[in-house]
Amino acid sequence: MTPSESADIDPTDIDAIRALFALDPAISHLNHGSFGAVPHAVERAAAAWRARADANPNRFFRDDIGPALASARTLAAARLGGRTDDWAFVENATQGINAVVASLDLQPGDVVATTSQAYGAVLKCLRHHTARTGATLVVVPLPMPAEGPEAIAAAWARAMTRPVRLAVLDQIVSQTALILPLGQMIPAARAAGALVLVDGAHGPGQVTLDVPRIGADWYVGNAHKWLFAARGTALLWAAPDRQEGLHPTAISHGLGQGYGAEFAWTGTRDFSAWAALDAAIAFHDRLGGSKLIARNQAKAAGAAARLTAAWREVAAAPASMSAAMATIRLPPALQGGPETAEALRRHLSAIHRIEVPLWAEGGRLWLRVSAQAYNRDDEYDALGEAVLAIVAKGGI
Ligand SMILES: Cc1ncc(COP(=O)(O)O)c(C=O)c1O
């Protein structure tokens, strides 16, 4: 860390915060949620690990990396809850979810249940493994926009009236930014006999976590989104009684030696991002830790209020059910399908230099904003005006 990087950061000094990231100063990066943003300090820490590996590959892979990753998992446990031994590194949420589902030995007739707001790639994983094994995938429709936790929990509970082998539930939904009421949904899934996998891709760093208390069997969370880890860093938690028979997506030397050993080595790879998890957690703390989480949530709620007012539109979830992201419907003049959403995203990026994800749902377009320490309120106003300007000229 350079001296300026170890000083306390004033959360209102957005220019100073922005300088801690490699982000192009010319863009308005309102999409922390999809791919995160890597701080210089974390990239430097990862580069130092890469340099160690390059200086003496034999010693690094045989002697150094094992203890380094064990201490990184201990830090993860201290931050996210549970015991070191219950946490394993995976590359990303996709890989962790695939590992759990593929390990389950699904049988014909088994029911796998998820919601209509599950992440697209996760739905594909579930479709693949249910089709492969003759199991049945049930996708429970959730109301959108969400009005409150009760309606969501009730929609889920109505589908939990048959035996379910596996329930896959998001902690924070990608497209709608909705925090699912897991405290009600997991007990309903348990009553149907289900094992529960929580997709916490957006959880670590966006909300405060004590993973074992969620009450799931498995939890997968990305550290490379809201915890500022270098990309390719995700963490899989397995309850102690759900570790046997759980295999990584690549079987390697650790096979048969237990959960920790199997996930510790899945072949030669660049371990630098995982080994630098300490720098990511230190950076999150430096920006405020739990205070950063609260500030981002307030900033996102403010952004949702500004944009819904500017566009006279609705948010996909109430602020009380969201954290550092908000999804807002675009004015009716900008209707269309996935191609229109993609064309609009490209236009906002190329012409207005604003980065946001957009989706089409039932002919209407929705746009998600993220709130991170480096974002200013006026960036959301500029987005609001850009969309209104597009509406005024009749489209892009
Ligand atoms: C809810 C959810 N699940 C899974 C993923 C996949 O994450 P990754 O691309 O890191 O595997 C995402 C990515 O945004 C997500 O939002």
CB 280 within 8 A of CB 269: no
Q: Per-residue pLDDT for 48 more than 50?
A: yes
List pLDDT tens digits, range 333-358. 999 999 999 999 999 999 999 999 99
Check residue 7 and give its pLDDT.
Answer: 60
What separation in Å is there between the alpha carbon of 201 and the centre of ligand 1?
A: 5
Three-class SS of residue 179? strand
For residues 132-145, give the mean pLDDT. Answer: 97
What separation in Å is there between the alpha carbon of 198 and the centre of ligand 1?
A: 12
For residues 109-130, give the mean pLDDT. Answer: 98
Q: Is the dihedral of CA 59, 65, 66, 70 positive or negative?
A: positive
> Which ligand 1 atom is the nearest neighbour of the CA of 202?
16
- What CATH number labels 3-30+288-392? 3.90.1150.10
For the chain, give the number of residues.
Answer: 396
Q: Which of 169, 174, 175, 207 to mutate to test the pocket of ligand 1 (most atoms within 8 A of CB)?
A: 174
List pLDDT tens digits, range 201-217. 999 999 999 999 999 99
Indicate whether this model's pTM tops 0.95: yes
List pLDDT tens digits, range 25-37. 999 999 999 999 9
Mean pLDDT, all residues of the chain: 97
| Residues of each domain in the chain carrying CATH 3.40.640.10 | 46-282
Q: Per-residue pLDDT for 4 more than 80?
A: no
Check residue 188 and give its pLDDT.
Answer: 98
> How many C-beta atoms lie closer than 10 Å to residue 149's C-beta?
19
What separation in Å is there between the alpha carbon of 8 and the centre of ligand 1?
A: 31
Instruction: Give the separation between CA 366 and CA 313, rounded to whole angstroms.
Output: 10
Check residue 72 and give its pLDDT.
Answer: 98
What separation in Å is there between the alpha carbon of 174 and the centre of ligand 1?
A: 7
List pLDDT tens digits, range 358-376. 999 989 999 999 999 999 9
| Residues of each domain in the chain carrying CATH 3.90.1150.10 | 3-30+288-392
Where does the pLDDT of residue 8 fall: very low under 50, low under 70, confident under 90, or very high at 90 and above? confident
User: Is 202 near ligand 1, meaning CB less than 6 Å away?
Assistant: yes
**Residues ≥6 apart with Cβ < 8 Å to 281:** 75, 79, 227
Check residue 3 and give its pLDDT.
Answer: 43
Give percent above pLDDT 90 in the chain: 97
Q: Which of 35, 92, 117 to mutate to test the pocket of ligand 1 (most atoms within 8 A of CB)?
A: 92
Where does the pLDDT of residue 5 fall: very low under 50, low under 70, confident under 90, or very high at 90 and above? low
User: Is 171 near ligand 1, meaning CB less than 6 Å away?
Assistant: no
The answer for 310, left when phi > 0, alpha when psi is -120 to 50, beta otherwise, is alpha
| Class of domain 46-282 as given by CATH | alpha beta
